[in-house]
Amino acid sequence: MHASKTLPPQPGGLWNRWKNWFLKIFSGRDYHYYGYLPSRPNFLLRYTLDRFFARVNVPPRHLERLRQMGEKGVVVYALKYRSHLDFLFFNRRYLSSGAPQPEFAFDLNLWMWQPFSHLIQIISAAIHYFTRKHHWPNPFQDGYFRWVLEQRKSGLLFLVDQVGFRQRFYQPKEDPLRHLLEIQQELSFPIFLVPQMVMDRDPTREDKGIIQLFFGDSENPGRLRKLALFFFRSKKAVVELAEPINLQELLADPRNEKYLLEEVAQNIRRELINRIDLTRRVITGPVIKSMEECMELTLTDPNLTDFMEHMAEVENQKISRIKKKAQSYFLEIASDYNAMLVHLWDKALTWVWQNIFEGISLDEAGMERIRQVSPQGTLIYVPCHKSHIDYLILNYMIYQNNIHPPRIAAGKNLAFWPVGALFRKAGAFFIRRRFHGAKLYAEVFASYLKTLIKEGYNIEFFIEGGRSRTGKLVLPQLGLLNMIVRAYHEGVARDLIFVPCFIGYDQVMEEKAYLTELTGSQKKTESWLQLFKIRKLLKKRYGRVYLRFSEPIFFSEYLDRYQLNSDQLTEERRRTIGRDLAFSIIQNINEVSVVTPFSLVCAALLTYPRKGVYRRELLNIINVFYDYLVERKAHLAETLSHLTQAIEEALTLCEARKLITPIEKEEELADELGLGAYSIDESKRLLLEYYKDNIIHFFIPASLVAMSILATQGFEFTREQVVADYRFLKDFFKYEFVYDDQGSEANVDRMLDYFCTRGVIGVISREADSYLLSASGLKELSYFANLLHNYLESYWVAFRSIKYLKKRPRNERDFLKRIQSIGAKLHKVGEVERAEALSDANFRNALKLFGEKGVIVKKAKVGKQPTTFSRPEDEDAREFYGQQLARFLRR
């Protein structure tokens, strides 16, 4: 059956216009379906609900995806529950948004929303149809739905409702899904079934009250409640789409040939309902349990109960006393999520970010991947840690993109009043920095972690343990990761999905505090007094924030890759797996980190120890580094697509922050050669070093190869020598950097090929793997080698300080102070070229390495006795590392 066509305009004045209108009203026999709504409904809808519909958030990514499906075929939306209001919303909102709007609905009477003229047409067509066929119109039997879909008009159907079930149960041929399958068999283009919903982002709770009894459940509210939600909570509502089903592809699948259409339709219905439920869970999270209920689940865990009973027996204590202590530990740890407070956090942080940042650059494709994999297991977000606001940024963006926020592992140092209480309500739980000696605390924490995972809460923790003071990623801390993996081995989660996250900044808020700590000062403990400094921080601008996500790591697949069976793993093997996983996560974070113009300029400024640099040479260094990063396929900030402009803005920022000073302005002189120059503030080099280290991991392979080539005598060298040096340096700096997993030889070959293509080196003999350094390439290699020169100097200072251990051992704190003092003196007399080499973090890592290699004797902390260092009796290791340091420092 076909819809009547609009009559062409007729001449003849007012009488003919009235006549045409009359004929149009009463000849519309094909406009019989009451479930069709024209583009212009009656005034009741246009002037009442439309303005509330406009408040609901429809993510642009969904609209774009719907438009793409509308271009390929026809879209039929699937809602879980029958609702006039939902149909009206999608019809009106998608019309104004440019997405395919549902113009008709299966089994839904829309007479009260029809314009008067269209309502008369429906009645007229129904009467006309009845007088001819002696029964009322049936859109399933009359071919109406097939015709309207052939016109590429979108529709809407409901999956769960009593009316529809009775109709499908008694008359299977009038099942909308079965009917769509029949229509799809006749169409040349696909029908896309798109499950969707309008929902509030607030999670549900297990308790049901009297409101649910009278107004309907929150998932399927009654009419009165649904109307009230639209009026009062429309700004908090959001539209979400689940993964669509392409009926054309589904019917072409040979696996469905053995089923009747009724069976296929029923399978589709179950799948659509399942996809809607999973999508809802991604947004609202699991059912929220009260803090008291979580305490019940945690403290009555069988493993924890056995541990407490054994502890009471071994230590001869009353079990009640141990249980009381376990309860106090739980209250110290546990979060107390509150959806209302999270809404307030969202509003407050929106204002804060708009005032201090120029924008947040989000990896939208990565966020969409998270949404897609979320139903498959428990998400474990693992971000790098550069600032106190990392967790605020990450959870803000997760919430903004309609994914339920994770529960965050925060340091106990942040549990002070009032911040601790606010963070608990936002989903933070608190963890001590060290568990040494606190066995009961460790078991309570592990049990709480297991409860969170078992109940379906996603987790977020910082694998570095604390914030990085150096700018580069800190080596991973394995305690919390091992607890999460242990929970998986106990069978509380279907799978763990680790999501490595990079959070980067053009400028970090805490940089001043970091510089103070790197010069040897003690870290200040967080307290409520520090809240008074926030006002000063909010007056500054910190550029852009960058949020990137690596490919999720499925733990089950990670185990399968090594052909490991979780049930047969020893505790030692599980710890090894956890360690390997931790380094894989760090590597993945490094791979997706963003190179900013400011970090690129800082790296170039620190290439030489000189107090000044010619502008022309500086720009040349920047271009060399930029070319390398492009070849390395590093993630570049969007502003670097206009390299010249981005670098000029970064240099202007450096001038404004007094990191560099144009020499012309300083001396009121112009360079005779017409070349600008900059002087570098010696006291700010450590700050420049912080931002250089943000991107240093990209340069490690090139820097190590360059250091090896420059350490050889003369201009000729062999691949064998470079590989040997690369392995030595990789081991020498193992406490400084996390390396990629390509292997030493693969990295050396890649770098040698790269330097050959640039003319830096040339091949003498392929058979002998010998090369020649070109005179023009000497300077370019020095750019890369000098990126790590300050680390060599740091280790050299620590090495030189060992002679002061000859008289007596020193504890770690005193010895580090001594190293700082020696380093400062060596810098003043010029034996240490770079001020950034005087880094407390570098000195600590040097002592760790030298203690491991036998260059010094390290006696670990025992009880209240501190860690001490002394000189070894055998000086062979010291002599070897002294020679190597001298060779690479080219002294």
pLDDT by residue (tens digit) across 159-206?
Answer: 876 555 555 554 556 788 989 999 999 999 999 999 998 877 666 554
Confidence bin at 39 (pLDDT 50/70/90): low
Q: Say which residue, 125 or 404, is predicted with more confidence.
A: 404
DSSP string covering 827-883, please? HHTTSS--GGG--HHHHHHHHHHHHHHTSSEEE--BTTBPPEEE--S--HHHHHHHH
b/e 142-175 (16+ beta carbons within 10 angstroms → b): bebbbbbbbeebbbbbbbebeebeebbeeeeebb
Q: Taking 80 as the threshold, does the pLDDT of residue 122 lie above it?
A: no
- pLDDT at residue 775, as a whole number: 86
Q: Taking 50 as the threshold, does the pLDDT of residue 213 lie above it?
A: no
Residues 824-849 have pLDDT tens digits of: 999 999 899 999 999 999 999 999 99
Confidence bin at 222 (pLDDT 50/70/90): low
- pLDDT at residue 5, as a whole number: 40
- When mean pLDDT is compared across 61-65, 76-80, 141-145, the lowest value belongs to 141-145
CA dist., res. 469 & res. 385, Å (int): 9
Q: Taking 90 as the threshold, does the pLDDT of residue 214 lie above it?
A: no
Confidence bin at 674 (pLDDT 50/70/90): very low
Residue percentage of the chain with pLDDT more than 90? 49
Burial class (CB in 10 A: 0-12, 13-18, 19+), 606: buried
- pLDDT at residue 667, as a whole number: 52
Confidence bin at 33 (pLDDT 50/70/90): low
Q: What's this model's pTM, rounded to 2 decimal places?
A: 0.84
Q: Taking 60 as the threshold, does the pLDDT of residue 475 lie above it?
A: yes
CA dist., res. 537 & res. 356, Å (int): 8
Confidence bin at 31 (pLDDT 50/70/90): very low
- Write out 806-839 in H/E/C secondary structure: CCCCEEHHHHHHHHHHHHHHHHHCCCCCCHHHCC
Q: Taking 50 as the threshold, does the pLDDT of residue 643 lie above it?
A: yes
- DSSP assigned state of 36: B
Residues 500-557 have pLDDT tens digits of: 999 999 999 888 888 887 876 766 666 555 655 676 777 788 999 999 999 999 998 8
Mean pLDDT for all residues in the chain: 84
Helix 14-26, helix 116-133: angle, nearest 10: 60
Average the pLDDT over 38-58 and give the result: 70
Q: 873 Cβ partners below 8 Å, 6+ apart?
A: none
- pLDDT at residue 216, as a whole number: 45
DSSP string covering 69-96, please? HHHHSEEEEEEEE--HHHHHHHHHHHHH
Helix (H, G, I), strand (E, B) or coil at 258: coil
Confidence bin at 27 (pLDDT 50/70/90): very low
Q: Say which residue, 2 or 306, is predicted with more confidence.
A: 306
Reported residue count of the chain is 891
Confidence bin at 40 (pLDDT 50/70/90): low
Q: 888 Cβ partners below 8 Å, 6+ apart?
A: 707, 711, 729, 792
b/e 224-237 (16+ beta carbons within 10 angstroms → b): ebbeebbeeebebb
Query: Max alpha carbon distance in the chain (Å)?
Result: 119
Q: Taking 60 as the threshold, does the pLDDT of residue 150 lie above it?
A: yes
Scanning the structure block, which residue is given the tokens 């376990």?
326
Average the pLDDT over 839-865 and give the result: 88
Average the pLDDT over 477-481 and give the result: 91
CA dist., res. 33 & res. 30, Å (int): 8
Scanning the structure block, which residue is given the tokens 């012309």?
664
Q: Taking 70 as the threshold, does the pLDDT of residue 1 lie above it?
A: no
If we measure between CA atoms, which residue out of 778, 626, 592 comes closest to residue 699?
626
Average the pLDDT over 44-51 and give the result: 66
Alpha carbon of 699 to those of 148, 586, 692, 732: distances in Å? 60, 16, 10, 16
Query: Containing H/E element for 429?
Result: strand 428-431
Backbone angles phi, psi at 686, to 5 degrees: -65, -35
Q: Taking 70 as the threshold, does the pLDDT of residue 642 lie above it?
A: yes
Q: Taking 60 as the threshold, does the pLDDT of residue 221 lie above it?
A: no
How many CB atoms are located within 10 Å of the residue 847 CB? 24
Q: Say which residue, 435 or 501, is predicted with more confidence.
A: 501
Question: Cα–Cα–Cα angle for 342, 345, 347, nearest 5°?
Answer: 115
- pLDDT at residue 741, as a whole number: 75
Q: Taking 90 as the threshold, does the pLDDT of residue 408 lie above it?
A: yes
Whether 148 and 36 have beta carbons less than 8 Å apart is answered as yes
Can you list the alpha helix ranges (DSSP code H) found in 613-684?
615-631, 643-656, 663-667
Residues 335-350 have pLDDT tens digits of: 999 888 888 899 999 9
- Specify the fold of 790-888: Arc Repressor Mutant, subunit A (1.10.10)
Q: Taking 60 as the threshold, does the pLDDT of residue 751 lie above it?
A: yes
If we measure between CA atoms, which residue out of 745, 736, 732, 735 comes closest to residue 701?
745
- pLDDT at residue 55, as a whole number: 78
- When mean pLDDT is compared across 82-86, 198-202, 667-671, 673-677, the lowest value belongs to 667-671
Confidence bin at 41 (pLDDT 50/70/90): low
- pLDDT at residue 34, as a whole number: 59
CATH of domain 336-590: 3.40.1130.10
- pLDDT at residue 51, as a whole number: 72
- DSSP assigned state of 8: P
Q: Say which residue, 34 or 413, is predicted with more confidence.
A: 413
Residues 344-387 have pLDDT tens digits of: 899 999 999 999 999 999 999 999 999 989 989 999 999 999 99
- pLDDT at residue 232, as a whole number: 57
CATH 1.10.10.10: does it fit domain 595-693? yes
Tally the C-alpha atoms within 13 A of residue 641's C-alpha that lie toward its C-beta: 3
- pLDDT at residue 525, as a whole number: 65
Whether 622 and 647 have beta carbons less than 8 Å apart is answered as yes
- pLDDT at residue 414, as a whole number: 84
- When mean pLDDT is compared across 107-121, 184-198, 600-614, 678-692, the lowest value belongs to 107-121
If we measure between CA atoms, which residue out of 704, 699, 707, 726 comes closest to residue 625?
699
Q: Taking 60 as the threshold, does the pLDDT of residue 212 lie above it?
A: no
CA dist., res. 808 & res. 419, Å (int): 46
Q: Taking 50 as the threshold, does the pLDDT of residue 146 lie above it?
A: yes
- When mean pLDDT is compared across 214-223, 307-316, 867-876, the lowest value belongs to 214-223
- DSSP assigned state of 32: -
Q: Taking 80 as the threshold, does the pLDDT of residue 495 lie above it?
A: yes
- pLDDT at residue 767, as a whole number: 84
CA dist., res. 100 & res. 77, Å (int): 10
Average the pLDDT over 766-777 and give the result: 89
